[in-house]
Chain A
Amino acid sequence: MDDTTAGPSGTPARAHRAGEAAAAAPDTAGPDATGPRATGPRAGGPDATGTGARNPGAHSPEAAGRGAPVGRRVVLGMLGLGAVGVAVGGAVQGKIDNVLASVSAEDPTGVTGLLPGGGGFRFYSVSDSIPHRGEADYRLTVGGLVDKPATYTLADLRALPQTRLVRDVQCVTGWRVPKTAFSGVLLSTLLEHAGVQRKGVALRFNCFDGVYTESLTLGQARRPDMLVALTMNDKPVTAAHGGPVRLYAAPMYFYKSAKWLSGIVVTDEVQPGYWEHYGYDVDGWVGKSNGRNDDPTS
């Protein structure tokens, strides 16, 4: 398509009919003959200067009068690009992640953190606001099928042996944050102190956002990479990240690492957690569940 094709008003008669047709309702006046075309030098401008009027005989499909179906081409082109993007997206995003990681390391504005793949942690919460508890009002209860139910304050938890783990964090939605440090009390330590009864099979985790729940089997919970975490990257876990105390289930997708942990209940069966009611796997091993094949994190 170029200037040599016939202009839209190649013939005055057609232009005139078109002008009337442009008025959608017959009872309203369109920009009629006394309107744009007849008044003002501008109206005549494009046709006077454009080559369309000079060369009305040139033929292309568009010259037939309906124009080029550019809209359709754009839409089809975008659909094609979208399909290509789906096909190569994984590889491309991987490269972008690497670039963004190095850029955002030196980006004081944090703008790169807003780009896809550029931001490390994303904030996910199913409750209506970020709950806050601190030194004075935080309590962790351990109960259910145990011999010695207990309630821990933050100070109590800090007084127990601390374990520090540095692993990648992998979200089931795809993002991964490399080399994140968590430290806190091993779940197995708390279970030992509580004395799990013979009937106990699994753990249910309650959260003080009042909504979220999670679960682990006793076998999973006793692994040496299952933490009740007090710090993240060597600072107290912030409220947005689930502080002051969150679960850190290192070998599993991050939805298993319940934020705002307030209760551990030993149960006689696995009670699926919040997202697991909506189709997520109860046994959320990284790379071996939820139909994903990410590299293991632990």
Chain B
Amino acid sequence: MTWTDGSASRMAAMMTRLHESRAVTGVRRFTRAESWVHRSLTAIMGVCAFTAACLYFPPLAEIVGRRRLVVTVHEWSGIALPVPILAGLVSRAFRADAGRLGRFFPHDWRWLRAAARTRRREPALAGKFNAGQKLYAAFTVGAVLVMIGTGLIMWFPRLSPLFWRTGATFVHDWLALAVGLVIAGHVWFAAKDPEARRGLRTGYVPRWWAREEHPLWQAEPPEPEKEPSEP
């Protein structure tokens, strides 16, 4: 027991130190719940996209084979995609960030115009999430829903007329290509920004990074429920 107590208190002390050091050097960007939502969504999306590639690209299909197994894994991973998001809604921080991602403010429109004009991100016009991230999030939600809808039509072919199935295949195939490209862009931007990745990994980002990349972060109107009591 004493050993357990001792190790527990050592652990607590360590966590406190870690916590303090981060609080001093960084800004809290994501909670653990949010990190886990992202992590599990990444894993499921990875499985779904990989099995899709195995079903779709002949060279991969020839290596992997096992078509029925791959189809089953693809179907179930696809249908599971909303689970992390729905589970995340339990978290207040996730709901708040979902609200942030879903809403555009004047600077977001300016960010988009600047991006269209200069082909570059304009960090000065970014809140906690820039307009590109907001559009990406919305696209992902829309794409997952459309893919699930069209996927179900193909999954249960007896339930719908051929006309629908052909159309569903059309949408599913082409949207899959679009999703692939968009995810590649997402990974590309992440690969270029280690601090953003650290934000998702640890929950904290350096102060300078928040200042440079998301200067309007604190300027965005909060969710009503997040309104803190005035000191």
**A residues at B contact (CB < 8 Å):** 1-3, 5-9, 14-32, 35-37, 39-40, 42-43, 45-47, 50-52, 62, 65-72, 74-79, 81-82, 85-90, 92-93, 113-117, 119, 121-130, 173-174, 240, 278-279, 290-293
Do A128 and B65 contact each other (CB < 8 Å), given the known contacts A89-B169, A90-B166, A93-B169? yes
What 0/1 pattern do residues 194 to 231 of B give for CB contact below 8 A with A? Answer: 00000000001001001110111111111100111010
Report whether B102 and A28 are in contact in the complex, using a CB–CB cutoff of 8 Å.
no
**CB-CB < 8 A to A2: which residues of B?**
106, 109
Report whether B138 and A29 are in contact in the complex, using a CB–CB cutoff of 8 Å.
no
**CB-CB < 8 A to A119: which residues of B?**
58
Q: Main SS of chain B's interface residues?
A: helix
Do A42 and B216 contact each other (CB < 8 Å), given the known contacts A67-B104, A79-B146, A90-B167? no
A2-B109, A82-B150, A85-B171 known; 15 new pairs, CB 8 Å cut-off, are: A3-B106, A8-B105, A9-B219, A22-B218, A30-B218, A31-B207, A42-B123, A43-B215, A67-B103, A70-B104, A71-B141, A93-B166, A116-B173, A121-B58, A174-B165
**CB-CB < 8 A to B134: which residues of A?**
70-71
Report whether A8 and B211 are in contact in the complex, using a CB–CB cutoff of 8 Å.
no
B125 at the interface (CB under 8 A from A): yes
CB distance from B140 to the nearest CB of A (A): 9
Q: Main SS of chain A's interface residues?
A: loop
Measured CA separation A66–B76 after assembly (Å):
36
Measured CA separation A14–B106 after assembly (Å):
16
Report whether B139 and A74 are in contact in the complex, using a CB–CB cutoff of 8 Å.
yes
Q: Which 8 pairs, one residue from A and one from B, show the smallest C-beta to C-beta distance?
A: A19-B218, A89-B170, A71-B102, A78-B142, A89-B167, A67-B103, A116-B173, A21-B222
Do A127 and B104 contact each other (CB < 8 Å), given the known contacts A29-B23, A116-B170? no
In the complex, which of the residues A1, A25, A81, A90 has the most CB atoms of chain B within 10 Å of its own CB atom?
A90
Report whether A32 and B218 are in contact in the complex, using a CB–CB cutoff of 8 Å.
yes
Report whether A31 and B27 are in contact in the complex, using a CB–CB cutoff of 8 Å.
yes
Do A36 and B66 contact each other (CB < 8 Å), given the known contacts A7-B105, A21-B228, A52-B107? no
The interface stretch among B37-45, B156-164, B185-193 is B156-164
Report whether B177 and A22 are in contact in the complex, using a CB–CB cutoff of 8 Å.
no
Report whether A71 and B221 are in contact in the complex, using a CB–CB cutoff of 8 Å.
no
Measured CA separation A116–B180 after assembly (Å):
13
CB distance from B33 to the nearest CB of A (A): 10
**CB-CB < 8 A to A16: which residues of B?**
218
15 chain-A/chain-B pairs, Cβ below 8 angstroms = A18-B220, A24-B96, A27-B23, A30-B28, A31-B218, A45-B215, A46-B110, A65-B221, A70-B104, A75-B141, A78-B139, A82-B145, A93-B166, A116-B177, A125-B65
**CB-CB < 8 A to B150: which residues of A?**
82, 86
**CB-CB < 8 A to A121: which residues of B?**
58
B93 at the interface (CB under 8 A from A): yes
Work out how many contacts link A and B, with CB atoms closer than 8 A: 264
CB distance from A187 to the nearest CB of B (A): 25
- When the two chains form the complex, which single residue of A46, A113, A130 contacts B215, counting CB atoms closer than 8 Å? A46
Report whether A50 and B107 are in contact in the complex, using a CB–CB cutoff of 8 Å.
yes
Report whether A77 and B163 are in contact in the complex, using a CB–CB cutoff of 8 Å.
no
Report whether B103 and A68 are in contact in the complex, using a CB–CB cutoff of 8 Å.
yes
**CB-CB < 8 A to A40: which residues of B?**
211, 215
Measured CA separation A51–B107 after assembly (Å):
10
Report whether B58 and A21 are in contact in the complex, using a CB–CB cutoff of 8 Å.
no
Report whether A75 and B145 are in contact in the complex, using a CB–CB cutoff of 8 Å.
yes
Report whether B220 and A46 are in contact in the complex, using a CB–CB cutoff of 8 Å.
no
- When the two chains form the complex, which single residue of A1, A14, A240, A279 contacts B221, counting CB atoms closer than 8 Å? A14
Measured CA separation A174–B108 after assembly (Å):
43
**CB-CB < 8 A to B66: which residues of A?**
125-128
Report whether A90 and B110 are in contact in the complex, using a CB–CB cutoff of 8 Å.
no
- When the two chains form the complex, which single residue of B61, B125, B228 contacts A26, counting CB atoms closer than 8 Å? B228
Measured CA separation A37–B149 after assembly (Å):
44
- When the two chains form the complex, which single residue of B28, B62, B164 contacts A240, counting CB atoms closer than 8 Å? B62
CB distance from B27 to the nearest CB of A (A): 5
Report whether A90 and B170 are in contact in the complex, using a CB–CB cutoff of 8 Å.
yes
Report whether B106 and A31 are in contact in the complex, using a CB–CB cutoff of 8 Å.
no
CB distance from A83 to the nearest CB of B (A): 8
Report whether B65 and A126 are in contact in the complex, using a CB–CB cutoff of 8 Å.
yes
